Each structure stands twice: as C-alpha cells, then as structure tokens.
Structure 1
Amino acid sequence: MSGLAEILHDNGFKVQGSDASENANVQRLKKKGIEIFYGHGKAYVDHAFRVVVSSAIPDDNPELVAAKELGLRIMHRSEILAEILKQHHGIAIAGTHGKTTTTSLAFTVLDYAQKGAGVINGGVLYSLGTNIKASSKPGGFMVAEADESDGSFTNIHPKIAVVTNMDAEHMEHYKNLDNLRQAYENFVMNTPADTGVVVCGIDHHEVAALAGRVSDRKVVTYGLLPEAHISADNIMQKGAAMGFDVLIEGKRYAGFRINMPGRHNVLNALAAIAVGIECGVDLETIKKGLMSFKGVGRRFIRIGDAYGAMVIDDYAHHPVEIESTIKGTKGGFANNKVVAVIQPHRFTRLNDLMDEFAACAMDADEVIVTPVYSAGEKPIPNVNREELAKRMRANRIQNVHVVKDPEEFNSLVQTLVTNGDIILCMGAGNINTWGQFIVQQSKLKS
C-alpha cells in the first residue's frame, strides 16, 4: 500500500492515508509530503474522491464505513496496481515463495541495463532506499510483485507473468487446491494472447503442470531440472554468495554470481535472467546486473552482532522457506553453529502446516521457538509455541527451546552462542525487532 501511495503521489495525485502507528513506511511517505493520519477515523475521507483498501481492512473500519456512506468509489489495491501495469510493459511476479527477491532481481537487471524500468515491490530495495520507483519512460517496463494471498492477483493483466512456485498457502481463501490452481491459471492467462510471455519455475511440480496448460502464449521455463529452457549447474556457495553457470537451451554461460545464499536464490536469479532476456537485455549485462544487487529488506539481512554471533533477519515464514533458509545458511557457513529462531506467523498457518513446521528445522544446530505472531487472528487451542516445540522434539530435532519474550530470548542466546555463530531470525511478524534487541543488549553489555 505504501508503494502504491508513493507512485500515485509521484504521478501527480494528491494522496493521504492512515496507519495504526509510526513506522518506516509512514516516515518515508511523510518526507515526500504525503499526509498521514494515525489511527482510523471517518473524517479522514471527507475530501477524498477514491478510497483504496487492501484485503486486510475489515468491513467495520471507520474510513471504509464513511466511504460507503458518502458513496465514494472504493478500489482494491490490486485494481490500482492493474491500472499502473496497464500503462506500462507490465511484468508481474507471483508465487508462494521468492516473489519479493525475484521482483528485486528482475528490476535490478533492467535498471542496470538502463531500460528506465520501474518497480513496485513488497520489500525495500537497498539500492533505492524504497520499495517503488516510477518508470522513466512512457509505457516502459514496470516490475511488480503480485499478491496471491487473497486471489486479487487475477485482476492484473501483465505482458510478462512469472510464477516461481505454488504451495498450499492461504487456503483460508482458496479452500482447496483446485481453486488455487485455477487462480494461477487465470493470472498467467491474463497475459495477452499471442504476445504474452509466461515464465514458469518448473522445479515445482504444480508450476510444471501449469506450464503445460498454457496456450497461445510463449512459455519460458527455468529451474535446476535439465529440461528447463534456462537452468543452472556448477552451483557453488562461498559464505552468503552463490556462483553458478547458466545453461540456455543447452548452451553454457559461465561466471554468474548473486550475493545471497541458497539454491532457492539461484532459482530466483534464473527467473530474473528469463525476464531480462525477454526484455532484450544481453547476458553479459544480466550477469553484471545480478552481481550489482545490494539486497532487499528482511531477506537474509545482517542486523548486527550479538555476543560474538552474527544476527540475520529473514522473512521466511512458511516451512519450505524456513528449511531453504537454514540449508542455505549451513551451506555457506558449514563450520559455524546456526541457531534458527522461528516466529510462527498466524495461528491458522501453524495449524494447517503443523507437521511441516515440525520438520523444517532439521539442519539447525539449535532451534528457538517464539510465541505465534497473530497478525490479528484469535488463538487456536493447542496451536502454540509449546506444541510446535513438542512436535519438533518428536521428530528428533535436537536442542529445541521456547521463549516468551525478547528478554528471555536475550538471556537464552547468551548461553548458546560463541564467536562466529549465526543467529537466524525468521518470520513475517516482528522477529526483526527481537534481533535488533539482542544486538542492542549485547552492545550495552560489552
């Protein structure tokens, strides 16, 4: 929402909005002259002609109630995103995992190639200091992260659609896998017939099946499987960086590198390579663009050090993401102890995926489970940190601990880590602030 507000402001619209409290996004918008109200009130929409909402806004929100009473047009955020992409050569990145990183990498490639590309992303790109940038060319390239959580990504009609993977997530909306599959199919078939491009990560069986159902559009596949149009081998990891060769229709292009750990990030890079090629960027420029990537907020970002250990913040909140992030970390730091800190995000997700969560931290040396970050949900009986830790121990995951708050977390890590260890804080809630807390406490103690 903050990115859309900023891009509308940059295009000459008068924009105002509200948030529950001060945060980095609010501060950024205020610096640009956008008026922000704290809390929610009916008076905030008195002079508005449109009200834009996300699916997270409840029906009883005072501003939404007032907008209905005033007869104002109410638009979902996806409608605004669709309008922006419609005016550009839109590139939309969807999938259960890797959307933000793939969007960031694809934009970085196009930006390095001086294509005048814009971006609307779910995380802050460190090269920009923001999560959005307007395209500098009329009708130019615009790379956008497409949110599948509420099905609204089917409102988007991009020229290029990317699907990274497709797991059973957000099933409170989709209800069953058939509905999820149909939504992704609708999304890719929203590309224009004959000229549209669909980029599919076929290492995931559901996406491979989706690619086979696409008709009247160019399909480009990527992955580590040899049958992919664009694949990678000679994959090597050094610390938090990955090196690899790219194979395109069997022809080898050596010497690619990204400054993020894990084979899952090699897959994200392959998707960005596919986008770059489809946008007319040569491979040498793509290679240099990927190497120039400076990172994106909350995706394997070093917060600082605590008690001799490196503290990493990562947005991984699905079992597949947590497992991949731990594996990627161990792959680059094999001789270092990895302490995996897991903050489950939403009671419904933990309830639906309890078995998967209970098995996702096998490669960690120590596991710390925090309370569930509710994201506004009500608790579910027997769906909590204690139950998850119990299930993990039943799976023979060693050294599983539970903590109730940052203070207890700070006390525990002092007993677990030594110089050179890694504390991997993972979750989509406020686990990053827990990491920041132990960094601060360590400084005070030293």
Structure 2
Amino acid sequence: MNLNQIHNVYFIGIGGIGMSALARYFKTLGKNVSGYDKTPTTLTDELIESGIEIHFEDRIDLIPADYYIENTLVVITPAVPKTHSEWNYFLEREFQIKKRAEVLGIITKDTFCFAVAGTHGKTTTSSILGHILYESGADVTSFLGGIVENYNSNLIGNGKTVTVVEADEFDRSFLHLHPNIACITSMDADHLDIYGDSAAIEASFVEFAGKIEDKSKLFIAKDLPLEGISVAVNESADYKAINVRIENSQYVFDVETPSETIKNIQFGLPGKHNLTNALMALAMAKTYGTSNEAIISALGSFKGIKRRFSYQIKTDDLVYIDDYAHHPTEINAVHQAVSELYPNEKVLAIFQPHLFSRTKDFIDDFAKSLSAFEEVVLLDIYPARELPVEGVNSAWLLGKMTNANKKLVLKENLISTILKSNAKVIVTIGAGDIGELVKPIKEALNEKA
C-alpha cells in the first residue's frame, strides 16, 4: 500500500489515544482527516480544534461525499462492533480498511523503528525515548499512547526517517511492526479474553522478540525468559541504575552500562517502575548513538504524561494524583510510589475497573492490590468494548477486599464522597472514562480549599 496515493484518511474510533496520534500524523502530512467516535472527550475536542472533522453519530450520510475508494484509507479500532453502519458501508464498497496496528506497520516499515513492548510501561518508556531522541535532534516521529506534558500531544516530532512506536500486545498487534531496536518491559498476564492463558501471551512476546535478530538491539527487563540486554534497578544487569537517592523530590542516580558509568542523572517521575522505564529508554537511545549529555539533559527535562501519576493538585495541605493504572501490577506500582513519597499520610484511592473480562481474570489480584490502600472508593466497571458478564461487577470486587474503609459509589455521587474524606492524598485510578472526571474533581477540591 502506497500512502502517497492516499488523499483522505477516515477513522472509526478517532478519539482513542492511539488512533488520535495517527490522525494528528496524517493531518501534518496534509491529508484530509475526519472520523467518527462514540462520545466527545477532551481528546476529540483538541482534534476538532486542529481542523479535523469529527461526528458522534453512526450515520453513513455524515461520511464526506468526496472520500472515494481509490484515494481513501479507512482506519478502525478493535473496539468498534461489527454491527457498526459506517464500517459496513466501507466494507461493502471494498474500501481499503486497516487496523491501527497495520497502519503503524506501513508507516514505520521504511524508517529506523524503535518499538517498545510490554504489558506495563509502554507509554512512559516510549514517551521518554521519543523525548530524548527529539531533544537530541534526531529526525523522529513518535506515536504514543499518552499525552506527553512537554508537548501536550501524543505525537512528538514530524521526522521522516526515525520512528518510535508502542508495540501493543493486544490482538497481537505488535507483530505488524518492523523494529530495528526494541525493548520488552514486562510480560504479565493480560488480555486473557484474546489469548486464553499466560502461556499464549508469552509465546506472542517471544515471536515479537524474534523480529530483532541482533540481540544486542533487544532490551529486556531483568528476569524475563528472553535473550537480550538486561535492564534493572539496584540489581545485577547489563544496564543497571545504582546509587539511587531522592533529592529535591527527584530521583538522582548513576547508571552502569556495559562500557562506562554515567553519574548523577536526574529524573522527576516517582516510583521504581518509572526509574526502570527511564533506564530502558536510556539504553535504547545510547545504543542508537545518542550522546550521554543529550540523554541526561532530556531525562532531566521530561515532565511526564497525563494520567500517568499526573499531579493535579500539589500543596502542603492536599495532593491529588491521577493515574491510568488498570492492572493489579500497575496499581501496586502506584501504591509503591505514593507510599515512598507520602509515607505517613492518609491516602484515598478511587478505582474504576476496566473491562469485565480483566476484572474476572484478576479479581483476587485486584482485591489484594486495592486492599493495600487505607481508604478505597470503587466505581462500576467501565465496559469499553465488552458486554456485561453475569456476576462480574464492582460489588463482587468490593466483597473480596480486606480494607475496613471501602465503599462502592455511583459516578454522580463521587465528588461529594471525595469532599467528605479527610485524606491528605487522593488518587484516581483507571483506564475508563474516570479520566473525564479528573477536571471536575480538581475544581471541586480547589473550591473546598
């Protein structure tokens, strides 16, 4: 497929975090870009502001009349149901229809491609790497799964020869990519609705790792059962962070590489998991040939990602943090970071489970992770692409949690519940539409103060 012959790109599910990065990319290339999404969000508002036409009704008559078969690419997300009228319109007329991952594969095929894989840490690692490469002057475009604070975008740069992409394991999407340098941050069980069991997930990561023939260009978190260059914090590895300390609310650390020690690197994102992500990005950039000075400078200036341990309020009296965590391992990482930063403070965690299948598959792990917090508020499960599963609900999860201070509340009652809490630290957690509640929660807390 030749993208140069494509004049129009139509997205079904344009408001998704990965889809919107592609939409921005094609817009910067001068293509006509438009699309459909189910509901308006902050992200769709930003796309509309940039000149992209978006509608929120599944109506064939809203598809631009001049989008013809020979010059139009249709991009779909797996979340779209097969009954979708617009999708069927394009299918019946034999338009070129591609999944997001297939389009990424086409874009990156003729570039030097960095691919970041793993069940956790993809977005942060790829964002840090994209920032390092962009700041160092590389001719890079980075397609990201989060809004990077430094750029207020999920697309960094407009380079033609180098790309950074998240290698998403969902639906085995990452097997469409053609990476030159890659990393795997983790291989925990997830997406069991697609894979069936953890062995199948591991097998797909092994297949992805096989795309990198030169194993000196494959970076892996220590203890993963793969051949590659190992990365770890305070443990023996090919690249290891040592002498880790906190100064002025930032990590400062040294890195031992296979050839040298880089001293006094500063990095502002909290949590050991984020140190690992930064180290992974450092190792990939250094292997590409980026200078130590450029790497150190970029790590020091990286501001973080929206909805990844993102501070909304940070005063002496109140801290409000928002995080995208939607898997027990990620919730554990949030708890570790909060405990390290605020060891003696009462913490209120508000969690919206994401997907019935994931809740069912990891119910005991979710209960254990959430029980570590002193006070927990649960919202109903966010279904995303799924239909309800009988007996799988937030009340079931609540019953398995061992906290003394826990409750299930409706979304419309959440803000009043938060305002009644005397917790010094408040954390909203989840990958669903809880992200749309962050702004009103922040406003209500500021009014209360």
TM-score by length of 1: 0.89
Query: For residue 277 of structure 2, what is the aligned residue in structure 1?
Result: 268
Deviations 1:310-361, CA, capped at 9 Å, x for gaps? 2111001101000111111110111222212111111111110011001113
SS at match of 1:389: helix
Query: For residue 168 of structure 1, what is the aligned residue in structure 2?
Result: 189
Query: For residue 432 of structure 1, what is the aligned residue in structure 2?
Result: 435
Residue 304 and residue 88 in structure 1: after superposition, are their counterparts in 2 closer, same or farther (change >3 A)?
Answer: same
Q: Is the 8 A contact 1:343 1:426 kept in 2?
A: yes
Query: For residue 426 of structure 2, what is the aligned residue in structure 1?
Result: 423
In structure 2, runs of 5+ residues without a counterpart are 1-18
Query: For residue 215 of structure 1, what is the aligned residue in structure 2?
Result: none
Q: Is the 8 A contact 1:302 1:312 kept in 2?
A: yes
Q: Is the 8 A contact 1:235 1:243 kept in 2?
A: yes
Residue 242 and residue 306 in structure 1: after superposition, are their counterparts in 2 closer, same or farther (change >3 A)?
Answer: closer
Query: For residue 405 of structure 2, what is the aligned residue in structure 1?
Result: 399
Could you tell me which of 239, 244, 254 is aligned with 1:245? 254
Query: For residue 325 of structure 1, what is the aligned residue in structure 2?
Result: 334
Q: Is the 8 A contact 1:22 1:38 kept in 2?
A: yes
Work out whether 1:63 is the aligned partner of 2:86: yes
Alpha-carbon distance in structure 2 between the residues aligned to 1:401 and 1:81? 42
SS at match of 1:87: coil
Query: For residue 56 of structure 2, what is the aligned residue in structure 1?
Result: 38
More deviation in 127-136 or 61-70? 127-136
Alpha-carbon offset, residue 401 of structure 1: 2.5
SS at match of 1:114: coil
Query: For residue 16 of structure 1, what is the aligned residue in structure 2?
Result: 34
Query: For residue 103 of structure 1, what is the aligned residue in structure 2?
Result: 126
Query: For residue 418 of structure 2, what is the aligned residue in structure 1?
Result: 413
More deviation in 95-104 or 142-151? 142-151
Alpha-carbon distance in structure 2 between the residues aligned to 1:134 and 1:20? 29
Alpha-carbon distance in structure 1 between the residues aligned to 2:358 and 2:285? 34
Amino acid at match of 1:339: L
Q: Is the 8 A contact 1:92 1:161 kept in 2?
A: yes
Could you tell me which of 192, 199, 202 is aligned with 2:219? 199
TM-score by length of 2: 0.89
Q: Is the 8 A contact 1:94 1:146 kept in 2?
A: yes
Alpha-carbon offset, residue 113 of structure 1: 1.2
Alpha-carbon offset, residue 276 of structure 1: 1.1
More deviation in 34-43 or 160-169? 34-43
Alpha-carbon distance in structure 2 between the residues aligned to 1:438 and 1:33? 29
Amino acid at match of 1:200: I
Amino acid at match of 2:336: K
Amino acid at match of 1:182: A
More deviation in 224-233 or 340-349? 224-233
Q: Is the 8 A contact 1:240 1:260 kept in 2?
A: no
Alignment of 1:44-443 (within 5 A): 44=63, 46=65, 47-48=67-68, 49-136=72-159, 138-139=160-161, 141-191=162-212, 193-194=213-214, 197-202=217-222, 205=223, 208-211=224-227, 219-224=228-233, 226-237=235-246, 241-249=250-258, 251-304=260-313, 308-393=317-402, 397-407=403-413, 409-417=414-422, 421-443=424-446
Alpha-carbon distance in structure 2 between the residues aligned to 1:12 and 1:72? 21
Deviations 1:209-245, CA, capped at 9 Å, x for gaps? 122xxxxxxx322113644210112223458532222
Amino acid at match of 2:308: R
RMSD: 2.3
Amino acid at match of 1:385: S
SS at match of 1:340: strand
Residue 316 and residue 8 in structure 1: after superposition, are their counterparts in 2 closer, same or farther (change >3 A)?
Answer: same
In structure 1, runs of 5+ residues without a counterpart are 212-218
Query: For residue 214 of structure 1, what is the aligned residue in structure 2?
Result: none
Residue 373 and residue 238 in structure 1: after superposition, are their counterparts in 2 closer, same or farther (change >3 A)?
Answer: farther
